[in-house]
Amino acid sequence: MTSAFIQAFLPELVLVCGALGLFVVALGGSQGRAARKTALVVAAAAILACVLALGARADLFSGAYRVDAFSQLLKLAFACGFAAIVLLSGDLPDIRDEIKPEYFLFVTLSATGLVMLVSCIDVIALVVALELASFPLYLLVPMRRERGGQRSQMESAIKYVMFGVAANGIMLFGLSYLFGLTGTTHLPQMAASLRMQAGSPLAIAGLAMAFCGLFYKLAVFPFHFWTPDVYQGASNETAGFIASLPKLGAVAVLVRFVSLAPPDNRAIILLLSVLAAASMFYGNLVALMQRDLKRMLGFSGIAHAGYAMVGLVALDLAGYTAAIYYSLGYVLMILACFVVACRVSPDGTNVAVGDLAGLHRRSPLLAITLFTGIFALAGLPPFVGFMGKLGLLAAALARGHLWLVVVAVVNSAIAIYYYLQVIRQAVFGEAAVERPPIRLSASTRLLCVVLIAGIVAFGAFPETIIGAIRQSLTFIPSSAPYR
């Protein structure tokens, strides 16, 4: 029994022990390099632990924590993403030396919360894991070095915290409704009870409010207001973390919550459809006017949250599979863009789109990484963005949501314009002042190659990943036809 528990809980144990180790390192003062090396070791150990635990199946902590194929697959994705974030962080030029150990500690704690989040099938455990994943991010945003008397990172952190508190409050209020209706905090039992009360206005209101905390994490309209300011105010490395792994965690938990609703619940379908359309239009139209690269990626992220919601609207296995697959691909795509943002700015300042001028001459590998990430975000074949959007649109169309498919296609066309503006600057733009070549470390070159290979492989050979995701969604009930 003990060995079975250790195997099932091994990724979490490795990350918790790693966080404790980083805490000890942080007590030693300015130990930034030691903290990064420790974080790299923890990330590598977490990946190995996730691989070893892939076949584990268990219900832990009185049934509140379920280790199954779905959670184990996503834990491996989080562990790989955590390793990418540590490699991306490099020397952290925009973080003061004395707090760099704390930076890696908070990143590890947030990754631990995300890994735990996908196994929680009890509302109380889920809320605790969500807060463990969130609170370190609130502390990472204001850790940026002050420049020229500007304290935009403080404003960004306050917005991030305030909107987060408000969204979580609404979510907890909705969860209290669901508990009152079902008399349980256990999600499988709650799902069975809610299917017998599908038409209840209280059930619909409870589910809608429960979604709010996850909509905030995903940056779905109208819970998006923090996104561009936090991306711009946080350090480049912090923004890369916030833009990637928490989005995947939010989609994974949304799948668990949305699956509580019957597949013919018109109210939930309408709510998700309207929010998806609003997110796509708002994000893409405002992104057209952005000149700061991180703000542009922030508004683009709002639009991509809308794309992911298109899959959830289907309320069936195909839609949930497409949403998870697209979110996995989005992590690769956005990290590729942030690798470029971090390395183009050696001192950690924000990068304008114009700063990418002549990138293909300064660093061909960074240019290829940027092109791959941007073309994938635009949804061009053969990259993962194309296959992801195709799966989302096919799932929505199969359930009769033609108007939403048309909206998604129109928005994809709008997005191509501002994405190609980035490519145009990198290839044809001329810098006002000649800039030196960009020297890349071995870890950065490795990260670029892995991200490029992942984006291409996920797009060119999607069957394996999609099949694994579909088989892992064992908690999804059989789809029922619309009535």
Domain ranges of the chain: 1-119, 120-145+152-472
- Concatenated DSSP letters of 45-58: HHHHHHHHTTT--E
Distance from chain centroid for Cα 357: 28
What pLDDT, on the 0 to 100 scale, is given for residue 147? 67
| CA 79 vs CA 76, 116, 185, 425: distances in Å | 5, 12, 28, 34
- Residue-wise pLDDT tens digits, 37-96: 999 999 999 999 999 988 888 888 888 888 888 999 999 999 999 999 999 887 888 888
The 3-state DSSP class for residue 95 equals: strand
| CA 120 vs CA 10, 60, 186: distances in Å | 15, 10, 9
Q: With bands split at pLDDT 50, 70 and 90, how would you rate the model's confidence at 483?
A: very low
Q: How many CA atoms lie within 13 A of 424 on its CB side?
A: 6
Q: Which residues of 355-384 are buried (b: 16+ CB within 10 A; e: fewer)?
A: bbbbbbebbebbbbbbbbbbbbbbbbeebb
Q: How many CA atoms lie within 13 A of 389 on its CB side?
A: 27
Q: How many CA atoms lie within 13 A of 457 on its CB side?
A: 10
Question: pTM value?
Answer: 0.92
Q: With bands split at pLDDT 50, 70 and 90, how would you rate the model's confidence at 482?
A: very low
The 3-state DSSP class for residue 82 equals: helix
What pLDDT, on the 0 to 100 scale, is given for residue 194? 77
Question: Quick one: CA dihedral 296, 298, 302, 304, positive or negative?
Answer: positive
Asked if the model's pLDDT at residue 480 lies above 90, the reply is: no
